[in-house]
Structure 1
């Protein structure tokens, strides 16, 4: 039996689909509302909360492998308590339950934000140590501290491995998470930045996770990244795939600084979460490069999907999902 936390999220849902297509039985955790019943007899949905150690341990009865995908992803400073509470304490509970139930292996989905993204003129790899000055988000801090819980579990005898994906591209609810990039491009959002970061297909993340889980690899972390490209180039690819107008107005650092401040004031006056924050605007302007060599050296038969190919497939899936012309 395989347990998946964060089963309804982008990574979790794609992982479950891949596992069941291989005939594997999955126990999938949901928090409050069970997903609509499907016809897949291989998926057992159970209500549990990673912040409730009792329900978590009950869900792990008879489980051999655990994929911990659950997390709060937010770059709004106002969500600090929720981010830290869920990502750190929730991961600590998962680690403790794995130890208590003698789970054979844990795979933790972390983020490159846990390494510290804002490093000028440096290619980020797994050897880099946490640097407070190299991170601009509470989310990054929370994922770093969550990783420390996993490393603590390894020290207590838990067989575990960590993946650090870059920005994950996939078809999902485009009102949430990274899929919002596709909605913005479809709506012909006119602005772009020349910031650079890594992007990776959710299908590649899932394949890499399964390879690591089924291997003898443990006590390691791996960056998962297909390509380092500009946000501008990504938006152009998406707009082209949708047959939409490409972004044509460049955002300068001064303009970005003015916008996030205006959004912060607007948020305080209306009580609504700001669309842009200091963290997100800073990230969009930064030029950050990630190395994917460690994973490719460990699994030489693995090949990442080119971003352009991923974008074309995902746009088709989103057109079907939202009945777009």
Structure 2
């Protein structure tokens, strides 16, 4: 048995590849030309060149594969050209689904995002059944992933055996880029967190996310969504855990979102028109801080036996990995 993993050089994709190999399935990883391969160090897999915008490369990559883990996505809080989110996340997903259908794979697991899951109007954690619409999506990343998820659901309705997983905020080893959540850890370790805007998040060990993918392939119900999450925390609680792990003092100054929002608008304008570099205060990140991103992953725990490694352990693994690799 062989599985194609897209996005294999990324944080979640490389973790998925490790978990698939550990489960006894061969992995073929789709790698964009010029991609940073550091996350693949020590991982015994086959890699093939390809791009989600190149249908021929997708069909070639799928040759001989019975399973597909579509993890690849353009993930950022800012981009100089927002169209990249839709080309990679929506058009690329449609192209891969078409290639999977044409080659007759046994099953596809699609990696969506927790951001495509709704939050109840009255507060409380969101579930797979919480109503949500495109107008509730903050930023191009979330909008593009929501639209991509709709394409996946259409494909499932049309007979493609596909399961959707919605990871929350993963942390752990091999966060090479690092991701926005990983960057919070690095900035904290460097003592850069002097103040913060309070928000809520759901943290999960990236290795648990990977196991969730494998179990969705094995036992997930076709056309269903599964939240891959663990514990709901406030940002303050995350900092308190990091303080205990690193010895760095947690920030005490909590800033009102209304104070930071105008600065984020200015920072975005500078990024768009002057520096052409990611803003230090991402506007979409400040906008998202308005929402307490708490979710209920009991469906995945119940149906997929999703592991629930404590966030303290996941954060300790991240801190140790960042230290060992010179990030902080």
Please, what TM-score do these two structures have when normalized by structure 1? 0.92
Tell me the equivalent position of 1:196: 200
Q: Does 1:17 align with 2:21?
A: no
Change (3 A) 1:130 1:286: closer
Q: Does 1:316 align with 2:320?
A: yes
Question: Offset at 1:293?
Answer: 1.8
Residue of 280, 297, 300 corresponding to 2:302:
297
Q: Does 1:72 align with 2:81?
A: no
Residue of 85, 88, 93 corresponding to 2:87:
85
Question: Offset at 1:252?
Answer: 0.9
Alignment length (residue pairs):
322
SS of residue matched to 1:173: coil
Tell me the equivalent position of 2:34: 33
SS of residue matched to 1:123: coil
Q: Conserved in 2, the CA contact under 8 Å of 1:124 and 1:290? A: yes
Tell me the equivalent position of 1:211: 215
Give a deviation string over 1:278-316, Cα, whole Å, max 9, x none: 3211212422321112112224x4441111121112212
Please, what TM-score do these two structures have when normalized by structure 2? 0.91
> Tell me, which stretches of 5 or more residues in structure 2 are unaligned?
none
Give a deviation string over 1:181-205, Cα, whole Å, max 9, x none: 1111111121123211211111111
Give a deviation string over 1:249-288, Cα, whole Å, max 9, x none: 2121222113202312432333333222332112124223
Tell me the equivalent position of 1:251: 255
Tell me the distance in 2 between the aligned counterparts of 1:323 and 1:74. Answer: 19
Bigger Cα displacement from structure 2, 131-140 vs 117-126: 117-126
Tell me the distance in 1 between the aligned counterparts of 2:277 and 2:42. Answer: 39
Tell me the equivalent position of 1:4: 5
SS of residue matched to 2:82: helix
Tell me the distance in 1 between the aligned counterparts of 2:285 and 2:121. Answer: 16
Bigger Cα displacement from structure 2, 277-286 vs 303-312: 277-286
Tell me the equivalent position of 2:181: 178
Cα RMSD for the two superposed structures: 2.1
Change (3 A) 1:262 1:157: same
Bigger Cα displacement from structure 2, 146-155 vs 74-83: 74-83
Tell me the equivalent position of 1:284: 289
Tell me the distance in 1 between the aligned counterparts of 2:136 and 2:24. Answer: 43
Give a deviation string over 1:53-76, Cα, whole Å, max 9, x none: 100001000111100000001222
Bigger Cα displacement from structure 2, 281-290 vs 207-216: 281-290
Question: Offset at 1:50?
Answer: 1.0
Question: Offset at 1:78?
Answer: 4.2
Tell me the distance in 2 between the aligned counterparts of 1:193 and 1:72. Answer: 25
Q: Does 1:129 align with 2:134?
A: no
Tell me the equivalent position of 1:271: 276
Bigger RCO of structures 1 and 2 (CA < 8 A, at least 6 apart): 2
Q: Find runs of 4+ consecutive structure 1 residues off by over 6 angstroms.
A: none
SS of residue matched to 1:128: coil
Tell me the distance in 2 between the aligned counterparts of 1:133 and 1:88. Answer: 17
